[in-house]
Structure 1
Amino acid sequence: MRMFAAVRPPAEAVEHLEAFLEPRRAAADFRWTDPEQVHLTLAFYADVAEPDLDALLAGLADAAARRRGFSSSIRGGGAFPDVARGRVLWAGLELDETAASELDRLAVGCRNAGVAAGTEVDGQRFRPHLTLARCGRPTELTRWVRLLDSYAGPTWPVREVAVMISHLGEGRRRRPRYEQIADVMLA
Structure 2
Amino acid sequence: MPRLFSAIEIPRGIAERLTVLRAGLTGARWIDPENYHLTLRFIGDVDGATARDFTLALSQIEVPPFELRLNGLGSFGGRKPRAIFAGIVPSMALDTLQRANERAAREAGLPPEGRNFKPHVTLARLRGARPDAVAAYLERQGGVDAEPFTVSRFVLYSSRNSVGGGPYVVEAAYDLED
Q: Secondary structure at the match of 2:174?
A: strand
What are the within-5 Å matches in structure 2 for residues 33-112 of structure 1?
A: 33-63=31-61, 65=62, 67-82=63-78, 84-95=79-90, 100-112=91-103
Counterpart pick for 2:170 among 158, 163, 180: 180
Deviations 1:49-90 (A, max 9, x none): 212333211211222x1x2211122231111123x5421111
Query: CA–CA distance in 1 between the matches of 2:125 and 2:47?
Result: 29
Larger helix proportion of the pair:
1
> What is aligned with 1:4?
5
Counterpart pick for 1:151 among 139, 144, 150: 144
Q: Which stretch of structure 1 is more off in the superposition, 125-134 or 50-59? A: 50-59
Query: CA–CA distance in 1 between the matches of 2:112 and 2:35?
Result: 21
Q: Secondary structure at the match of 2:71?
A: strand
Structure 1-normalised TM-score?
A: 0.82
For 1:47, give the aligned amino acid: D
Q: Secondary structure at the match of 1:154?
A: coil
Aligned residues: 174
Q: 1:69 to 1:148 in 2, by over 3 A?
A: farther
Query: CA–CA distance in 1 between the matches of 2:45 and 2:83?
Result: 24
Mapped contact 1:47–1:120 kept (Cα < 8 A): no
- How far 1:111 sits from its partner (Å)? 1.5
Q: 1:161 to 1:180 in 2, by over 3 A?
A: same
Mapped contact 1:46–1:121 kept (Cα < 8 A): no
Q: Percent identity, aligned pairs only?
A: 26
> What is aligned with 1:161?
154
Query: CA–CA distance in 2 between the matches of 1:175 and 1:150?
Result: 22
Q: Secondary structure at the match of 2:159?
A: strand
Deviations 1:118-157 (A, max 9, x none): 2355421110001111111353222232344432112211
Structure 2-normalised TM-score?
A: 0.86
Mapped contact 2:66–2:152 kept (Cα < 8 A): yes
Query: CA–CA distance in 2 between the matches of 1:175 and 1:163?
Result: 15
Q: 1:138 to 1:26 in 2, by over 3 A?
A: closer
Q: 1:12 to 1:162 in 2, by over 3 A?
A: same
For 1:79, give the aligned amino acid: S
Mapped contact 1:4–1:43 kept (Cα < 8 A): yes
Q: Over aligned residues, Cα RMSD in angstroms?
A: 2.2
